Amino acid sequence: MSQTAIIIGREFNERVRKKSFILSTILMPVFVIAMMVIPSLIMFYAKGGTKTVAVVDESGVIAPQLESDDDLMFVPVDAQLDSVRENMTEIFGILYIGAGILENPNDVRLYTNGSSAAMVESAITERIEDIIESEKLKQYDIHDLQSILAAVKTSVSLSVFRNEPDSEDELSSSTALSAGVGFALGMILYMFLIIYGAMVMQSVIEEKSSRVLEVMVSSVRPYQLMLGKILGVAAVAAVQIVIWGVLICGTCAVALPMIIPSDVAESVEAFQSGAVEAVSADVDMEVLKVVSTLSDTGYVASIFAWLLLFMVGGYLLYSALFAAIGSSVDSVQDASQFQTILMMPIIISIFVMMTIMNDPASPVAVWCSYIPFTSPIVMMARIPSGVPLWEIAVSLIILYATFAGTVWAAAKIYRVGIFMYGKKPTFKELWKWMRYKY
């Protein structure tokens, strides 16, 4: 074990002292935030300018009520459709509304002078639908109908509680926040498994190509050498997560209370104590849930604790396989065939993670939370939405037990592969290496 400890220390020190480690530790949280913000910015700036739509309304009902905004400007035109289509070719399009639109809602056509857009079509359709519904309601001859509808319209904020009879009522966190946090955690694990697993494989290939391994195995057993490399890089990844956890927990505990307005802080206190009726009506409930969740340092710390456990378990499992691949080939190009197969469960985990945002308790998500090759990403994406402790414990036990078996099989390949040169092995040969007795 002392020899293994020396290898662990060497791998750890070599990577922690690099500038790339410091930069990735600082930039990774920024990257995750950017991954969440950039799609919204792209959608915002991808709207383009205001689109002008000429309206030919033969019913005389719809056009006067169409309201323009920053995206669409409606221009009623008193002319024949054919004439408008011929003369108004520089605007976005022409909207034709038939005379019997109230009886036949399908008598609507949009002629565009270029490519159309789904969002534009949806916006136009919704506005026409609202106007038609309003006109139909007027036929019931109800006095001051618009005022009545405005007074009746109500917005309900649903407070979700955990149904746990043996404990006090516990408010659930924001569904949107849980989905966002789960997605971010899943992406972090995805990048960790690929980056650090490939790092182990690259290190083994380089040392094998330079014949350094042949010298090292004269002083240390191949199993100890492989285990030292895996645990040394695992320590680097664990340090990164601990640093992120401390920074984020400190920010939530110190900076967040300083920037929250006093009225929101009072509502957060009432919300966290379960007194929903005491929450100010002026405070948006969804925003309140987000602030309440982020200000709960214990919750944030527990998320990072689970992240650390699943990251280490997932990394140990995949890095053992990456090390076995690296030992069996002579170059990174030769490893591509095996690496592609190894990447498939990770890619499948990302697709399953997408479905979790809609239903964290779906059968596919639950089963993939137990399968060790997908559980690190899938379970971490589910945890922010609320997962029973026994499910997390079972997932971790299966994950670490699978690593124990995998590292044994990988060590069999490793101890043979590091002395093999000039030929890329087949799957049949790898299976034969695992069956060798020593």
Predicted pLDDT of residue 398 = 93
Does 153 or 99 have the greater pLDDT score?
99
Higher local confidence (pLDDT), 431 or 189? 189
Q: Cβ distance 279 to 271 under 8 Å?
A: yes
Rg, the chain, Cα only: 30
Tokens of 42: 């792209």
Is there a contact between 159 and 285 (Cβ–Cβ < 8 Å)?
yes
Query: Where are the extended beta strands (E) located within 127-177?
Result: 161-162, 170-171
Identify which has the larger pLDDT, 263 or 3: 3
Per-residue pLDDT tens for 79-129? 888 888 888 888 888 889 988 888 888 888 888 888 777 788 888 899 899
pTM: 0.66
Residue-wise DSSP of 12-50 = HHHHHTSHHHHHHHHHHHHHHHHHHHHHHHHHHHTT-SP
The DSSP string of 178-189 is: HHHHHHHHHHHH
Q: Kindly provide the residue ranges of all beta strands, DSSP E only, lying in 138-275, ordered along the sequence.
A: 161-162, 170-171
The tokens for 86 are 């011929």
Q: Is the pLDDT of residue 387 over 70?
A: yes
The answer to whether residue 206 scores a pLDDT higher than 80 is no
Report whether 395 contacts 403 (CB < 8 A).
no
Q: What's the distance, Cα to Cα, between the start and end of the chain in Å?
A: 20
Neighbours of 173 (CB within 10 A): 20
Residues 6+ apart with CB under 8 A from 92: 51, 52, 53, 112, 113, 114, 120
Q: Are 92 and 112 in contact (CB under 8 A)?
A: yes
Q: Return the percentage of the chain with pLDDT > 70, whole number.
A: 75
Higher pLDDT, residue 333 or 303: 303
